[in-house]
Amino acid sequence: MQYGLNRAGRQIRHFTSFLCFMMSVERPVHGRKWQDCRRSPDFCHDAVVRPFRSIAAFAMQGVSAFSLGLVGKVFADRARLGLPAFEFFVCAERPGDVRTDLGLPLHVEFGLNHLARADLIILIPPDDAVPPDAPSSAVVGAIRAASERGSIVASFCTGSFVLAATGLLDGRRATTHWSLAGDLAARHPTVTVMPEVLYVDEGTVVTGAGAAAGIDLCLHLLRREHGAAIANVIAREIVVAPHRDGGQAQYIPVPVPTDGCDERLAGVLDWARRNLDKPLSVNDLAAQALMSPRTFARRFRMATGTTPYAWLRTRRLDRAEELLEITDLQVEQIAHQVGIGSVSVLRELFIQRRGVSPRAYRRAFSQL
């Protein structure tokens, strides 16, 4: 454990100067033009705005205590690690006690007027199992006003019903818990509901699946706005996977086998992460797991909800982003270190993922 802490400390010190820069760098605003093309808002050139620093968690009656807790954990004060100082606060329709799904009262100091202070508003789901009633006109007006001022509005699980009621999802894609996707589509037919994914990023509005997917949504927003290095450190701090693709399945219908296969797969994934610089193939992973490629691919999808190829590609691009942010390595060197090899292939994959080239991505995150 001490080795792990020392290693994390070295990584944190390695990008301390990067973090200081990120506190002052200007970033592109999430404009309508980007929403139309659905590319990463980080690189829209219409205007500039700083990455979000103030986060408002909006709590309705019956709010999920679990969901509120996990959002608060992601954006907790970690100044001791040299991370950005987030201002996190909870708002309700009016100040006072809000009932949680556990039946316990939660005293909320701020009302709707405080949403105007937030760069990012997260609609915390009420009861996770039941679609909530439509929000009041005051709530709808406050959320829409914040969005018009440039705030990012995010939701997950049943919170997506609240966001859809504001009209901000009209004509856009969205997700919610897989078991409630039909209800969301029926209530809001102008919204394209995607029940199979973990989260959907539409720029200034972002939606997530079930309650636990709220962590994935928050880490995605951190990665999008503040970079992979910061998102990875926070993920390590709260002991969760640093990045799961939004397109990864949120529901795996077949249980993971209990014959030891899951342990072998975990070992293979750890081995693959340590060997991303090598041109690993599905056959290599299968051999490491002592399985045939066909059996391995089937077991892999059962356990992770994605394919070995997609998982490898995501891990390689995650690492490439981090190296672009915190090192001065040439793009050619990075391509080889993450096992992609060809700069042209890395560029193509990067454009598919981020809408820009690796060099343009670096310019958004590197010191001037």
- Interval 19-54: pLDDT, tens: 443 333 333 333 323 333 333 434 343 333 468 999
User: What are the two backbone dihedrals, phi and then psi, of residue 87, each rounded to the nearest 5 degrees?
Assistant: -100, 110
The single-letter DSSP state of residue 112 is G
- 157 catalytic? Reply is yes
Q: Is residue 69 within 8 Å of 4, Cβ to Cβ? A: no
d(CA 4, CA 148): 44
The single-letter DSSP state of residue 277 is T
Task: Give the pairing type, strands 192-193 and 173-174.
Answer: parallel
pLDDT, residue 66, reads 94
User: What are the two backbone dihedrals, phi and then psi, of residue 155, each rounded to the nearest 5 degrees?
Assistant: -150, 165
Q: Is residue 208 within 8 Å of 245, Cβ to Cβ? A: no
- Which of 205, 217, 180 shows the shortest CA–CA distance to 195? 180
Residue in 20, 37, 44, 157 annotated catalytic: 157
**Number of Cβ atoms within 10 Å of the Cβ of 77:** 11
Which residue reads 């789901």 in tokens? 125
Q: Is residue 88 within 8 Å of 261, Cβ to Cβ? A: no
pLDDT, residue 150, reads 94
Beta bridge partners of 27: 49
Task: Encode pLDDT of 210-226 as tens digits.
Answer: 888 899 999 999 988 88
pLDDT, residue 353, reads 83
Q: Is residue 297 within 8 Å of 281, Cβ to Cβ? A: no
pLDDT, residue 285, reads 92
- Mean pLDDT per 10-residue interval, the chain, length 368 residues: 43 42 36 34 42 95 95 92 91 97 95 96 87 94 96 96 97 95 96 92 94 90 88 86 58 42 80 91 91 91 85 91 90 93 90 86 66
Say whether pTM exceeds 0.75.
no
d(CA 153, CA 58): 10
pLDDT, residue 265, reads 84
Q: How far is CA 321 from CA 126, 242, 280, 357, in A?
A: 35, 13, 19, 11
pLDDT, residue 245, reads 60
Q: How far is CA 143 from CA 89, 101, 156, 334, in A?
A: 16, 23, 15, 42
Which residue reads 């997700």 in tokens? 175
Report the run of H or E that residue 15 belongs to, with start and end. none
Distance of CA 343 to the CA centre of its chain: 26
Q: Is residue 228 within 8 Å of 327, Cβ to Cβ? A: no
Q: Please provide the size of the chain in residues.
A: 368
